[in-house]
Amino acid sequence: MRVILATSSAGKLLEFHEGLNSLGWELLGLDQFNVAMPPEDGATYEENAMIKAASISLATKMVALADDSGLEVEALNGAPGVYSARFGNKKSDLERNLHLLEHLRNVPQPRKAKFVSVIALAHPDGFVESYRGEIEGLILEGPRGEAGFGYDSLFLVPELGKTFAELSVEEKRKISHRGRALEALLLAYKSGNPRREVSKLE
């Protein structure tokens, strides 16, 4: 199957490629098509992922995969959540990380948080599947590690004693929210039981 990866994030592309390669799908980048991503104005990760995948699938008449993800911090009542990419209207990962640390300045450990990812796969016949993955962790007082993107260097996985930014792509994929959502998708396809009936967007 030929699948367009509807994301322009290099970090996400890398993580998707690693996992999806095992399905034998031919993966195409968005840059090969003259189509624009729609605005992310859904209220949930599911809505946003489906809007993105469906819009690219509709425009290209091909299968499209998109994800929507975010960081939910317990002390901030789940913020930044679906707004993680534009937290505080900051323009860069570094600024968003500083903004998060500033919000948590007076919050003692354990500063519980979780990453959530929803992957949507939209088919040209209008059917869209979605798969969710989550991982719990703690927000550190300062960054640790060089790898990854976004809030990776602030997110500690207690069981490993490492932040996401201290893991290789492969190590991160095994446990991350995106990796887990991807695993659910891979399982569905490998068992010949994709959840194609989930919804049909008009």
Active-site annotation holds for 125: no
Q: Which of residues 26-45 bind ligand IMP (CB under 6 A)?
A: 40
Let me know: does 21 contact 28? Beta carbons within 8 Å.
no
Per-residue x/- marks for ligand IMP, 82-121, CB under 6 A?
Answer: --xx-----------------------------x------
* Beta strand segments in the chain, E: 2-5, 26-29, 63-73, 112-122, 127-139, 155-157, 162-163, 199-200
Q: Which is nearer to ligand IMP, 99 or 196 (CB)?
A: 99
Query: How many chain residues interact with ligand IMP (CB under 6 A)?
Result: 17
Q: Which is nearer to ligand IMP, 68 or 129 (CB)?
A: 68
Write down the catalytic residue from 31, 41, 67, 68: 68
Q: Which is nearer to ligand IMP, 38 or 196 (CB)?
A: 38
Per-residue x/- marks for ligand IMP, 62-81, CB under 6 A?
Answer: -----xxxxx----------
Q: Which of residues 123-182 bind ligand IMP (CB under 6 A)?
A: 148-152, 164, 176, 178
Q: Which 3-state string (H, E, C) describes 67-88?
A: EEEEEEEHHHCCCEHHHHHHHH
Angle between helices 10-20 and 177-190 (to 10 degrees): 30
Q: What are phi and psi of 172, to 5 degrees?
A: -65, -45
Distance in angstroms (rounded) separating the CA atoms of residues 49 and 54 = 8
Residues near ligand IMP (CB under 6 A) = 40, 67-71, 84-85, 115, 148-152, 164, 176, 178
